[in-house]
């Protein structure tokens, strides 16, 4: 029995799936993940896992990477064939083929929001041109744009890193209002996109044309809605948090930080400190009042002979903490903004920025940023960073000829394949750092599972007939699994919760290049676990589902570096060294000869040293070099 079959729970349908292809040369991991993806695509939004402020659906985008002829297309066709085999399933989950022009893709998705995009060569489907056309949109701001972080700093978006926490908010009302939420950066990168400079009554901001803003609409029952930057008009009102502040290390901030740390406290609706009447109180009050943007209240407690200096307005209390930065109170700052309502009512006119002009300024370098709430605050404006593959309730896409197209409740699953060289050549570097590839469960293999010259002659007639009957039965069971799956998936008990929590807290990527993938690792584990539980006809996730999902993910993640790191120039050279060695043992002199057309001998020696340090290579006792994990 293959290693993957041993990992799967004994009662999983996926075990039977692998057993019905005993003569298939394609890697077992390809066959398995293609079936996982097909099951998730067929179920769509019918099953979900409540994951804090957002919902996880079982749709699993996959990318099979390996050399030509290894079995990528075969595996993808077998996986999608599970849906094609049933007219009922195919009607509800059609397979989209053909060119990935925005117009064609949008037309297909409007007609069938729940669908599979079948891309035998993903890099050809989403090549550099299509990637840059915004088919996978992000929050895109120029690098100097200020973003509000969870510790109440304003940082340039170009300085943010994966896993950094920001002040975000609900993408959609829950159910009536939006609330401020803690957001985590899940991907960041850079690319050039068409941009606009938006001037408002509160200032100006430069963003990509498809950057969405949260706006007020006085004529709608739901008075907050998303509008793309290019569709903003003079008079449109954007929800506005307030202008960015700056921390200055001087006497005022030092004195106030000491006062607030010593005598102050934070609460849900105010930041204050208490002091006896006298010179200290008056001096502190004077220093606080030097910031003219703060609204300050002063209360007398006659029984104690003390007074309270209180800052209560939402923006004001965050600005106060952010500008003086008292160490103790900053650790409690979240209580002053987290889970607080975003309001733009008639009494909150200062919370609105009226658009004065929108000027198209051509292509600019922008930072592509994504957060797990799909929202963030940029230059004081409430903005969005949605993407089709994040599965929001509504996606607005733009085409040149048809303008804005709305897709309701998209359930798109992409099943793709590629060779490493083609992928690296056709996609830009930002496909990795910007988070595009991190949305895919990537399986990289270099060799076939087995080689069989004439598989048609490897079995007798009776064995073939029995195998065909078994295949028909397994495919019918697939339809039964899809029909039975519905509703919320939850953990079965605390052992499953503990298993996942332990892994989540301890998991770290092996390379900085892999940080966008590590940020999504937990989501992939939960998606795999949901599908594994469904394959066992369970409505709850148990420890066996979690255990398999973790092991399968880590098995595939160990090879991720071979795909991700070669996007950099040095990474491509490292990959060429490994490819030159293959499954052989080679001396350092032989490696220099193999690489003589692409790098100097000194450069090759440095690359070999790097691979030895990362344990991708090992030096044997005879001085030869051999690859590990092949």
The mean pLDDT of 258-278, rounded to a whole number, is 88
Q: How far apart are CA 18 and CA 21, in angstroms?
A: 6
pLDDT in tens, 224-248: 777 878 778 899 999 999 999 999 9
pLDDT in tens, 150-195: 999 999 998 888 788 999 998 777 667 888 999 988 767 777 778 8
- Stated as kind and residue range, the H or E segment containing 105 is helix 102-111
Selected residue with higher pLDDT from 545 and 419? 545
Mean pLDDT of all residues in the chain? 82
CB 158 within 8 A of CB 173: no
3-state secondary structure of 621: coil
CB 376 within 8 A of CB 166: yes
Tokens of 25: 């040369």
Tokens of 597: 């057309």
Q: How confident is the model at residue 211 (pLDDT cuts 50, 70, 90)?
A: confident
Q: How confident is the model at residue 308 (pLDDT cuts 50, 70, 90)?
A: confident
Q: What residue has token string 């900053």?
A: 330
3-state secondary structure of 438: helix
Question: Is the pLDDT reported for residue 515 higher than 70?
Answer: no
At residue 349, the pLDDT reads: 46
Q: How confident is the model at residue 218 (pLDDT cuts 50, 70, 90)?
A: low
Q: What does 216-256 look like in DSSP terms, one character per residue? A: E-TTSSS-EEEEEGGG--TT-EEEB---------SHHHHHH
Selected residue with higher pLDDT from 191 and 96? 191
Selected residue with higher pLDDT from 397 and 609? 609
At residue 96, the pLDDT reads: 65
Question: Is the pLDDT reported for residue 223 higher than 70?
Answer: no
CB 33 within 8 A of CB 417: no
CB 318 within 8 A of CB 152: yes
**pTM exceeds 0.75:** no
Q: How confident is the model at residue 471 (pLDDT cuts 50, 70, 90)?
A: very high
CB 516 within 8 A of CB 162: yes
Q: How confident is the model at residue 385 (pLDDT cuts 50, 70, 90)?
A: confident
3-state secondary structure of 536: coil
Q: How confident is the model at residue 495 (pLDDT cuts 50, 70, 90)?
A: very high
Highest-pLDDT range among 348-357, 411-420, 466-475, 563-572:
466-475
pLDDT in tens, 536-571: 999 999 999 999 999 999 999 888 877 766 555 666
At residue 110, the pLDDT reads: 62
Q: How much of the chain exceeds pLDDT 70, in percent? A: 79
> For residue 165, which of 188, 187, 149 has the smallest C-alpha distance?
149
Is the alpha carbon torsion for 96, 99, 100, 101 positive or negative?
negative
At residue 106, the pLDDT reads: 57
C-alpha distances in Å from residue 192, one per residue of 136, 188, 211, 256, 387:
14, 14, 14, 43, 17
Q: How confident is the model at residue 107 (pLDDT cuts 50, 70, 90)?
A: low
Q: How confident is the model at residue 60 (pLDDT cuts 50, 70, 90)?
A: very high
**51 - beta bridge partners?**
54
Question: Is the pLDDT reported for residue 140 higher than 90?
Answer: no
The mean pLDDT of 429-452, rounded to a whole number, is 77
At residue 192, the pLDDT reads: 77
pLDDT in tens, 593-624: 988 888 888 889 888 888 887 777 889 988 89
CB 293 within 8 A of CB 319: yes
């Amino acid at each position: 029995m293959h290693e993957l079959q041993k990992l799967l729970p004994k009662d999983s349908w996926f075990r039977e799936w692998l057993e019905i292809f005993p003569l298939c040369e394609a890697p077992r991991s390809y066959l398995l993940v293609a079936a996982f993806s097909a099951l998730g695509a067929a179920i769509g939004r019918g099953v979900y896992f409540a994951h804090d402020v957002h919902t996880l659906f079982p749709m699993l985008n996959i990318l099979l990477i390996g050399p030509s002829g290894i079995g990528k297309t075969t595996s993808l066709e077998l996986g999608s064939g599970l849906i094609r085999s049933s007219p009922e399933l195919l009607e509800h989950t059609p397979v989209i083929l053909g060119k990935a022009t925005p117009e064609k893709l949008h037309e297909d998705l409007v007609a069938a929001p729940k669908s599979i995009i079948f891309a035998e060569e993903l890099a050809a489907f989403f090549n550099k041109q299509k990637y840059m056309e915004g088919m996978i949109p992000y929050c895109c701001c120029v690098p100097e744009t200020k973003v509000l972080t969870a510790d109440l700093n304003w940082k340039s978006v170009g300085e943010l890193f994966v896993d950094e926490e920001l002040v975000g908010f609900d993408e959609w009302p829950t159910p009536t209002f939006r609330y401020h939420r803690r957001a985590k950066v899940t991907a960041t990168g850079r690319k050039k996109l068409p941009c606009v400079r938006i001037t408002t009554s509160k200032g100006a901001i430069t963003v990509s044309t498809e950057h969405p803003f949260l706006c007020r609409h006085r004529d709608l029952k739901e008075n907050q809605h998303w509008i793309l930057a290019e569709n903003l008009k003079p008079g449109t009102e954007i929800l506005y948090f307030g202008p960015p502040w700056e921390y200055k290390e001087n006497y005022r901030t030092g004195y106030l930080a000491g006062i607030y740390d010593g005598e102050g406290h934070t609460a849900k609706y105010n930041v204050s400190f208490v002091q006896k009447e006298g010179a200290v109180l008056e001096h502190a009050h004077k220093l606080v009042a030097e910031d003219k943007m703060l609204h300050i209240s002063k209360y007398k407690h006659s029984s104690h002979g003390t007074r309270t200096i209180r800052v209560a307005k939402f923006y004001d209390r965050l600005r106060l903490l952010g500008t003086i930065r008292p160490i103790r109170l900053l650790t409690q700052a979240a209580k002053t903004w987290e889970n607080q309502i975003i309001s733009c009512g008639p009494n909150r006119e200062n919370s609105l920025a009226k658009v004065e002009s929108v000027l198209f300024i051509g292509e600019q370098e922008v930072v592509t940023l994504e957060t797990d709430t799909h929202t963030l605050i940029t230059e004081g404006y409430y903005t969005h960073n949605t993407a089709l593959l994040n599965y929001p309730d509504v996606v607005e896409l733009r085409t040149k000829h048809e303008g804005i197209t709305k897709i309701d409740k998209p359930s798109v699953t992409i099943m793709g394949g590629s060779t490493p060289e083609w992928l690296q050549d056709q996609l830009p570097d930002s496909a990795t750092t910007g988070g595009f590839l991190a949305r895919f469960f990537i399986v990289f293999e270099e060799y076939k599972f087995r080689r069989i010259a004439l598989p048609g002659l490897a079995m007798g007639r009776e064995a073939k007939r029995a195998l065909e009957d078994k295949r028909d039965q397994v495919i019918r069971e697939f339809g039964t699994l899809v029909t039975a799956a519905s509703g919320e998936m939850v953990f079965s008990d605390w052992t499953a919760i503990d298993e996942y929590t332990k892994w989540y807290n301890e998991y770290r990527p092996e390379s900085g290049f892999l940080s966008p993938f590590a940020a999504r690792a937990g989501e992939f584990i939960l998606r795999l676990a949901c599908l594994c539980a469904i394959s066992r006809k369970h409505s709850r996730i148990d420890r066996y589902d979690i255990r398999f999902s973790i092991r399968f993910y880590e098995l595939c993640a160990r090879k991720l570096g071979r795909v991700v790191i070669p996007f950099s120039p040095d990474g491509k050279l490292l990959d060429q060294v490994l490819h030159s060695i293959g499954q052989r043992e080679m001396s350092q002199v032989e490696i220099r000869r193999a690489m003589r057309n692409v790098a100097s001998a000194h450069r090759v020696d440095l690359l070999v040293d790097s691979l030895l340090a990362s344990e991708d290579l090992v030096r044997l006792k005879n001085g030869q070099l051999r690859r590990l994990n092949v």
